[in-house]
Copies of this chain bind each other. A is one copy, B any other.
Amino acid sequence: AMTTTTLKGQPFDRPVLDSMLRRRMFYTPSFEIYGGVAGLYDYGPPGCALQSNVIEIWRKHFVLEEDMLEVDCTALTPEEVLKTSGHVDKFADWMCKDPKNGEILRADHFVEAVLEARLKGDKDARGIKVEEKEEDPKKKKKKVKNTEAVKLEDAVVKEYEEILARIDNYDGEALGKLIKDHDLKNPVTGVQPSPPVAFNLMFQTAIGPSSNAPGYLRPETAQGQFLNFAKLLEFNQQQMPFASASIGKSFRNEISPRAGLLRVREFLMAEIEHYVDPEGGKKHARFNDIKDVKVRLLNRHVQLAGQTTIEEMTIGKAVSNGTVDNETLGYFLARIQQFLFKIGVDPSKTRFRQHMANEMAHYAADCWDAELQTSYGWIECVGCADRSAYDLTVHAKKTGAPLMVRERLETPITIEEWQIDLDKKKFGPHFKKDGKTVEAAVEALPQDKREALAQDLQLDGKIKIEVDGVGNGTVEISKELIQIGRKTKTVNTREFTPNVIEPSFGIGRILYALIEHNYWTRGNEGGDEARGVLSFPPPVAPTKVLLVPLSSHESFKPIVNRMSRKLRSIGVSTKTDDSSASIGKRYSRNDELGTPLGITVDFQSVKDGSFTLRDRDSTKQVRADEEKILKAIKELAEGSKVWADIEKELPAFEGQEAEIPVLTKKD
């Protein structure tokens, strides 16, 4: 089993980090004073700033640099839309109820937990030491505590292991059968739960005052983007390919969420829908820019063989050897990785895992997840799916809206096909009010049908076609009104429904992984216990600069205030700590918030306007005049320079961090 380590390779202690994150209000359970609600969390000031910095970088990296069309669609969605997309019927988990205490259990998690407990009991009975398995937060379940040491038949052990390996493949009926056949009981009550029923994961509501307008909160931002496809194509002056993008909250009513920030009921997503011509191999015009980016891949075949070996290769090679299906998919994998590294994710804790055929969503043709390694295991943080033409096709079919691209052909082509000619002068008067309906039905006849009807017309002098809502549903048309013949036609345009490549970012999960990846503890200098540090890159850090006056001496105040105002005016967030704690202590308090820079205001500052600037990670300092210090801070905060650059440009400050212990007040 893997052991998680901190940024500096120290053993990782999740409860310690978790308590730090709550204490510094990175996040907090929502409605805690009312007892809280599972799966709902609020971000406090540092979490919120971290989130908005990551979003700002995302927007620059994708929307601005790639010229994407950002839209902001509503979360409220009428039922019909999600019926068409398949979510009303398929976006569900199986749940059981304990008849004794009313507890609601997610069926697959329940089966897994009980079987794993039995297997553990068997090992205990056999005297085999069990190593704690890496947790999978996607399936985070209540562990069965206090397993009994009961030895099982060898055949039973094998059977259980096989069931567990295929747990994702059982539907409700099969899960129910497992519960019955193996007499799986809720350890809390000792009784078998009820047979599994489907529980849709969408939050339902009613839109407007009448009860006949059911709606849901969107489970993804994608549908709103698809519905606007025709308008976006028009906005883009009919140019293909192009992408839309959206940042917003989505909602999933998890049955019993338990993995902290990793499985929540309301979450921020950033989704891109890149529309590409399915013909011509889904090339990407800027593929060349990223073809040398190295990625760590865990492909489907390796997983099928029961392995987790990661292969590192350039994205160019991955596409050319067929590991990654096409350039556009490959392009986005590289761009996703560039984004993740830019915000400070640890490259050694990053991989792309290809979905197995059985785990893909109902619409997906291929899918790679960017997974980040945390103490919960490898976490899916960005999905990159090829949704094929599924969504645009179903919505177009349902609504009749032209969710497709009409492309002018460079050289027109001639095709031979069955054409229908109606005698409009007679046709209208003959069918009267039904004329338009019958005409539409005729025009919609496919080629094979037309061929058969042409024969009917020749043989019988008339044809019969089905027209919903006219007469008894079948309409007769005589040869006086219609002609069907094989003719050649010149075609100037080509129509196609684009395929969609969808990079979909779970921002909350990324933030959590980012925090774990940047966390470490500083040794107990000065007698204090080990202090947590969050080494966020300056552009994502919640606060950029800590202003520290040497003491509470009156002469420091105006300087601190002026610096604070100047930094804010150039868009740099600052905090001032003028408490009586030692300078070292004040800095280390802000290490927990991930503040990358510190300015010390001392007597020399009063005299000559110079300041020391301190780097959080190395605790190295430089000293320069105000203008140079401000310039350095701006460059670091924007990410155009790193500390090593500043160290080369500005003179090091070798003096000790002057500390004046203040004994009168307790910090």
Contacts and interface: CB of A to CB of B under 8 A. Distances in A.
A206 interface: yes
A511 to B, nearest CB: 11
A485 interface: no
Interface string A204-236: 111111100101010000001001101110110
Contacts of A32: 227
B33 A399 contact: yes
A72 B232 CA distance: 30
A435 interface: no
A47 B399 CA distance: 26
A44 B209 contact: no
A97 to B, nearest CB: 9
Contact of A34 (B38, B78, B204): B78
Contact of A37 (B69, B78, B251): B78
In terms of DSSP, what is the predominant structure of the interface of chain A?
mixed
Given A34-B80, A34-B81, A227-B33, A43 B72 contact: yes
A399 B35 CA distance: 9
Interface in A86-114: 95, 102, 104
Interface stretch (A48-56, A128-136, A137-145): A48-56
Interface string A572-586: 010100010000000
A289 to B, nearest CB: 11
Nearest to A230: B33
A294 B360 CA distance: 61
A70 interface: yes
Contact of A571 (B64, B210, B235): B64
A44 B265 contact: no
A231 B401 contact: no
A60 interface: yes
A71 interface: yes
B34 A227 contact: yes
Nearest to A577: B237
Contacts of A37: 76, 78, 207-208, 213, 215
Contacts of A44: 69, 71, 228, 231-232, 235
A266 B227 contact: no
Contacts of A59: 52
A667 to B, nearest CB: 11
A609 to B, nearest CB: 23
Interface in A161-202: 199
Contact of A42 (B73, B81, B251): B73
A379 interface: no
A653 to B, nearest CB: 28
A651 B399 CA distance: 56
Interface stretch (A23-31, A473-481, A489-497, A613-621): A23-31
A293 to B, nearest CB: 18
Given A70-B49, A75-B249, A203-B205, A224 B42 contact: yes
A255 interface: yes
Given A69-B45, A73-B42, A249-B249, A207 B265 contact: yes
B104 A209 contact: yes
A536 interface: no
Contacts of A235: 24-25, 44-45
Contacts of A42: 71-74, 224, 228
Interface in A432-473: none
A21 B72 CA distance: 15
Nearest to A95: B209
A68 to B, nearest CB: 9
A65 interface: yes
A47 B72 contact: yes
B31 A77 contact: yes
A119 to B, nearest CB: 28
A568 interface: yes
A509 interface: no
A152 interface: no
A45 B74 contact: no
B74 A253 contact: no
A48 B77 contact: no
Given A48-B70, A75-B249, A568-B65, A228 B34 contact: no
- Of residues A33, A48, A248, A571, which shows the largest number of chain B Cβ atoms within 10 Å of its Cβ? A33
A70 B232 CA distance: 33
Interface string A398-427: 110101000000000000000000000000
Nearest to A72: B43
A45 to B, nearest CB: 4
A30 B231 CA distance: 12
Interface of A: 24-25, 28, 30-34, 37-45, 47-49, 51-52, 56, 59-60, 64-65, 67, 69-78, 80-81, 95, 102, 104, 199, 203-210, 213, 215, 217, 224, 227-228, 230-232, 234-235, 237, 248-249, 251, 253-256, 265-266, 395, 398-399, 401, 403, 568, 571, 573, 575, 579
6 contacts: A31-B78, A33-B227, A42-B72, A104-B208, A208-B255, A209-B253
Given A34-B81, A38-B208, 18 more contacts: A24-B235, A33-B399, A34-B227, A37-B76, A37-B208, A37-B213, A37-B215, A40-B74, A40-B207, A43-B72, A44-B232, A45-B71, A45-B232, A45-B235, A64-B571, A76-B203, A208-B253, A209-B255
